[in-house]
Every structure is written in C-alpha cells, then in structure tokens.
Amino acid sequence: MNEATDALTMGVSSTSANPLSAVEPDTSGSTDFPDHGIHTFILGAGCFWCMDAVYRKTRGVSAVVSGYIGGHTPEPNYREVCSGTTGHAEAVAVTFDAAVVPADVILDMFFTGHDPTTPNRQGYDVGTQYRSSMFYVDDQQRLLFEAALRRNQQNWDDPIVTEIVPAPHFHEAETIHQDFYARNPYEGYCQVIINPKLAKARKYYSQWLTE
C-alpha cells in the first residue's frame, strides 16, 4: 500500500476490513472492566485531529480533548511537539459512558482508525509524536488495553507496535486544535485525511455513531 493510498484508507489494509466489534462487542479474552460508569481513555493514533473527529460522533462519548502526553518538557506546545524534540505523543482523552458504548468498541475504533503496525508514522505524518500509544491510569485499564491489542492483532498481517504505558500528565492542546474538524471542515487535511476516516467509521460502526 503506497503512502497516498494509506492516507486515504486510514492505513487499514484489507486484512482489517471487518473490525471485531463492528456488529457487536467481542468478549473473547475480556477483562472485568465495568459495563457502566463514566471512563476516560487516553489514546494516541497519529494526528489528534483524526480520532477527535471520530470520537465526537460516537454515542455515549461526552468529551474529547486533544493534547500531548509522554514527553519530557513541562509545558509543551504544538510547534515544539511537532518538532519531535519533546518526546510527547499527540493523543486524545476520550470520556464515555460504558452503559451506552462498550469500552471494547471505543478501543476497537482506535485500532481501526489508524495503522498500529507502523512505528512513529501515520501516512504522511512521520515522527515520534505520531506513535501509536495507549496510556493507562490503573491496572484495570492496562489489562483492558492489552486484551484489545491481542484481539485486534488478528486483523493485521504485521505485528502491532502500539505502546501501552502508564499515563503521565496529559497536557491539553491549544484551543485551535480542539474539535478541529468541525471548525475547519474544508481544510485540505480534513478533506483528504479525516473524511475517509469518518467514512470508514460510518461503514463499520454506524450503530455506535450519532451521524
């Protein structure tokens, strides 16, 4: 798959064409994560504008915050993070009601919404800030994330390289990066990169989306 095709197809190859939870949540290897309550997952899937757009259209999601996490500078900004020198990953903090949308669906959308087999790269976006990453706040989340990775590995020919690490401080990104797609639907990046991601989400997760 060349770079242009990769960018236009969310980096999802034909082997990942049928996400496990697209019809109903898969419970094989499930953990004891609760099926109710409000939870927040911090997930890095390349440029945060992309998954921000997808999760904002997901039922049961009450908040999505784009930000930076996992670096070594105390107050990172977008320019610094994009330089690749701060060690931060672009990520979204997704808050959702597990009684409305199962945690497994949130996580399977994450693995479907980017290519988790390419280290430090998503399409044309290259750098450690675009690494595939999951940041857990407790052992319960860690076990859930590990189970989701194992479950989704069968959809990929290459090994998933998503890092699963403890969550350090999450730095909220600048206002311009919050809900970027809705604010800038006709920007080139939104048209060429994000629109195909939304189309794929609608194809496989329509029952979990608000539109």
Dihedral angle sign, alpha carbons of residues 195, 115, 93, 106:
positive
The residue type of 80 is E
Contacts of 72 by beta carbon, 8 Å cutoff, 6+ apart: 86, 87
So which residues are the catalytic ones? 47
How far lies 163's CA from each of 72, 79, 89, 117, 146, in Å? 17, 23, 11, 11, 10
The pairing of beta strand 38-45 with beta strand 89-97 = antiparallel
Q: Which residues lie across from 95 on neighbouring strands?
A: 40, 63
The Cα–Cα gap between 123 and 187 comes to: 17
**Full 3-state SS string of 156-195:** CCCCCCCEEEECCCEEECCHHHCCHHHHCCCCHHHHHHHH
Three-state DSSP at 53 gives helix
Which uninterrupted H or E stretch holds 35?
none
**Tokens coding 22:** 């697209």
